[in-house]
Amino acid sequence: QQQVKQSPQSLIVQKGGISIINCAYENTAFDYFPWYQQFPGKGPALLIAIRPDVSEKKEGRFTISFNKSAKQFSLHIMDSQPGDSATYFCAATRNFGNEKLTFGTGTRLTIIP
Interface residue list for other proteins (CB under 8 A)? 32, 34, 36, 41-46, 49, 51, 89, 95-98, 100-101, 103-106, 108
Nearer residue to other proteins within complex by CB, 44 or 66: 44
Shortest reach from residue 16's CB to other proteins, in Å: 27
What gap in Å lies between CA 91 and CA 32, rounded to an integer? 8
Residue with Cβ nearer other proteins (70 or 100): 100
Give the shortest CB-15-to-other proteins separation in angstroms: 24
Q: In whole angstroms, give the CA distance from residue 72 to residue 33.
A: 10
Closest CB to other proteins among residues 64, 104: 104
* Helices (H), ranges, 17-97: none
Report the nearest approach of other proteins to the CB of residue 43 (Å).
Answer: 4
Is the Cβ of residue 12 or residue 18 nearer to other proteins in the bound state? 12
Q: Which among 3, 22, 13, 2 is positioned nearest to 107, based on CA atoms?
A: 22
Closest by CA to 74, choosing from 101, 98, 48, is 48
In angstroms, rounded to a whole number, what is the distance separating the alpha carbons of residues 25 and 10? 19
